[in-house]
Chains A and B, each alone.
Chain A
Amino acid sequence: MADRELGYRERKHALSNLIQTYLATMDDIGVETWLMHGTLLGWWWNRKILPWDSDSDVQMSEPSMQYLASYYNMSMFHYKTPRIPEGRDYFLEINPHYINREQTDRMNVIDARWVDTTSGLFIDITTARYNWTHPAGKGMLSCKDGHEYRDTYIFPLRSTFFEGTPAKIPFAYKEVLEAEYGQKSLTLTEYEAHRFDQEGLEWIPIPPKIKEPQVSMQEENQENSDRPQA
């Protein structure tokens, strides 16, 4: 598929196209899916993919995954959009181990993938399954990757937008994010060599520091001067 590593901007576009086409396809075929992990954190900040994220994470329920596996496994979807004028093929691949519900199946934690056949980039699709024997009682969902959620934190899903496309997120998105990344992840504006620009609502790469360290802070402070002081 891919014959070289993509550049920063090129990868950003490919990832954006990838999630857009995935969300549109799932909507088309009537499969409910929602954003999770780093993708949900990207949504929190600016409803976009975090630029340092190398993939996107989405989830679906077990019946939805069964449906995908039954009718759409190994399907190719062709997309031609203003962003992809030359057209591009996307491939849906279900892990044959998706029927194995156990978290001990460590080799197969990802149940399905949405693959950009041109770049080789993909989206991991995991299944949120009810855990009928969870010590916390009824209503616990777990994923093969070890994450666990109370179902009322996920459902009813909220409708929103991600990368300009209609998308769904968990009901208690803030609690889900806090549980996974800690509270700091919701407020820290410098992360992974990027700084969150509050005017443009974008994560901007921080160039390697040549000047004294205060410079970037001062600039940031200037941008914030209209914020009320607590």
Chain B
Amino acid sequence: MSAGSEILETTSTAAEIEALDGYGTNAQPELAGMIKLMDLSPKYIPETGKHRRSKRLVIVGDVHGMKDSLVELLEKVKFNEKHDHLVLAGDMISKGPDSRGVVDLAIHLGATCVRGNHEDRIILAHANMEAEHRDVGVPGPSEPTDKQQDMLEEESFNHGDYKDRKLAKQLGEKRIKWLKKCPVILRVGKLGDMGEVLVVHAGLAPGIKLQQQDPVLVMSMRTIKHGVPTSKRKGNVWTKAWNKFQKSLPKKERSTVIYGHDSKRGLQLKKYSMGIDTGCRKGGKLTAVVIEGGHLDHKHKLYHVKCKDER
């Protein structure tokens, strides 16, 4: 095709033309070993109406290996395995004292997870360790992780992911396998006034289809600059553009995002976004959004427990 061969008689305003140079026009990154979008099984969706069965969704962000706090929080919400479903909004592991324990508990409870930037790192580090590395006579990614990094060992395979590989090893095959199944975007479904409820670790770019979202940014964004999401803290928080965009849509097309990742900003409740990373590992709180069905519509409520500072 040669450009300019078809001349189309349309009128366009300056604003429309300006919108062309937008984020999301590129091909989406094709990244191996990653589930981008998954629908939550409808059996977990809280029911509404007079004859509703009691079912709740319990969504918890950024546990970061703080297993005791997670247990305490589940006790506080009186989590019942029979009726309730746990959703972990990413960064369940790393940094804190018991990543294994958190994953084991999640598996035990049949929880649904979302891939956060920390899961992403650990899964990639694990994949690189697993990958066939021929004996090339130089240290490879499977060399002991306790090896000290010093100036004399320039040959060392110190890839800046020593810690990641150590944790990948600690977690072991079974838990890594479970983590790999966590999608980047979890579509919960339509829940009344909240519209379509989505769970991601960091955020979503407004105006871009779920399939078209850059998964790495979904796991890492904090702000949006010139329409492009970035992980930088300084700038306009992405939820500002997100909420503005939702309000511009017809009511039945709106979506609410539940996310974590930004403990510095803490609890962030807006009409169409709920940020629930309240910095548990830094001695803050661990937060759960509990969604349940009411007589007419869904209701949501927040629960917190205080955490021990594990820095």
Whether A47 contacts B10 in the complex (CB less than 8 A), given A156-B124, A159-B32, A230-B19, comes out as no
Contact B10–A187 (Cβ < 8 Å): no
In the complex, the chain A residue whose C-beta lies closest to that of B136 is A67
Q: Does B127 sit at the interface, judged by CB under 8 A? A: yes
Q: Does A107 sit at the interface, judged by CB under 8 A? A: no
Contact A189–B27 (Cβ < 8 Å): no
Contact B3–A204 (Cβ < 8 Å): yes
Q: Interface size bucket, B side?
A: 35 or more
Q: Which of A67, A138, A230 contacts B207 (CB 8 A)?
A: A230
Q: Which of A138, A204, A221 contacts B12 (CB 8 A)?
A: A221
Kindly specify which of A7-15, A89-97, A113-121, A171-179 makes contact with the partner chain: A171-179
Contact A171–B25 (Cβ < 8 Å): no
Q: Which residues of A contact B42 (CB under 8 A)?
A: none
Contact A200–B1 (Cβ < 8 Å): yes
CA distance A173 to B4 in the complex (A): 33
Q: Which residues of A contact B230 (CB under 8 A)?
A: 174-175, 178, 183
CA distance A30 to B159 in the complex (A): 17
CA distance A174 to B215 in the complex (A): 11
Contact A219–B134 (Cβ < 8 Å): no
One digit per residue, 1 when the CB lies within 8 angstroms of any chain B CB and 0 when it does not, for chain A 183-203 equals: 110111110000111101100
Whether A230 contacts B27 in the complex (CB less than 8 A), given A171-B124, A218-B8, comes out as no
Smallest CB separation, A81 vs chain B (Å): 21
Majority secondary structure of chain A interface residues (helix, strand, loop or mixed): mixed
Q: Which of B128, B214, B231 contacts A157 (CB 8 A)?
A: B128
CA distance A224 to B161 in the complex (A): 41
In the complex, the chain A residue whose C-beta lies closest to that of B163 is A152
Contact B231–A175 (Cβ < 8 Å): yes
CA distance A22 to B27 in the complex (A): 23
Give residues 258-311 of B contacting A (CB, 8 Å). Answer: none
Contact B30–A156 (Cβ < 8 Å): no
One digit per residue, 1 when the CB lies within 8 angstroms of any chain A CB and 0 when it does not, for chain B 161-175 equals: 100100000000000
Majority secondary structure of chain B interface residues (helix, strand, loop or mixed): loop
Contact A151–B8 (Cβ < 8 Å): no
Q: Does A207 sit at the interface, judged by CB under 8 A? A: yes
Give residues 152-168 of A contacting B (CB, 8 Å). Answer: 152, 154-161, 166
Contact B136–A30 (Cβ < 8 Å): yes
Q: Which residues of A contact B226 (CB under 8 A)?
A: 183-184, 187
In the complex, the chain A residue whose C-beta lies closest to that of B16 is A221
Contact A156–B26 (Cβ < 8 Å): no
Contact B21–A188 (Cβ < 8 Å): yes
Smallest CB separation, A193 vs chain B (Å): 10
CA distance A31 to B6 in the complex (A): 47
Q: Does A206 sit at the interface, judged by CB under 8 A? A: yes
Kindly specify which of B50-58, B75-83, B92-100, B150-158 makes contact with the partner chain: B150-158
Contact B7–A219 (Cβ < 8 Å): yes
Give residues 223-258 of B contacting A (CB, 8 Å). Answer: 225-228, 230-231, 241, 245
Contact B29–A160 (Cβ < 8 Å): yes
Q: Does A217 sit at the interface, judged by CB under 8 A? A: yes
Q: Which of A155, A206, A218 contacts B159 (CB 8 A)?
A: A155
In the complex, the chain A residue whose C-beta lies closest to that of B214 is A174
Give residues 30-75 of A contacting B (CB, 8 Å). Answer: 30-32, 43-47, 61-64, 66-67, 70
Q: Which residues of B contact A187 (CB under 8 A)?
A: 21-23, 25, 226-228
Contact B206–A230 (Cβ < 8 Å): yes
Whether A63 contacts B160 in the complex (CB less than 8 A), given A156-B128, A204-B1, comes out as no
Whether A222 contacts B127 in the complex (CB less than 8 A), given A47-B27, A155-B159, A229-B19, comes out as no
Contact B2–A30 (Cβ < 8 Å): no
Contact A45–B159 (Cβ < 8 Å): no
Contact B20–A221 (Cβ < 8 Å): yes
Would you mind naming 15 contact pairs between A and B with Cβ atoms under 8 Å apart? A30-B132, A46-B27, A139-B160, A156-B124, A158-B124, A174-B217, A175-B230, A187-B23, A218-B11, A219-B4, A221-B12, A224-B19, A227-B19, A228-B207, A230-B207
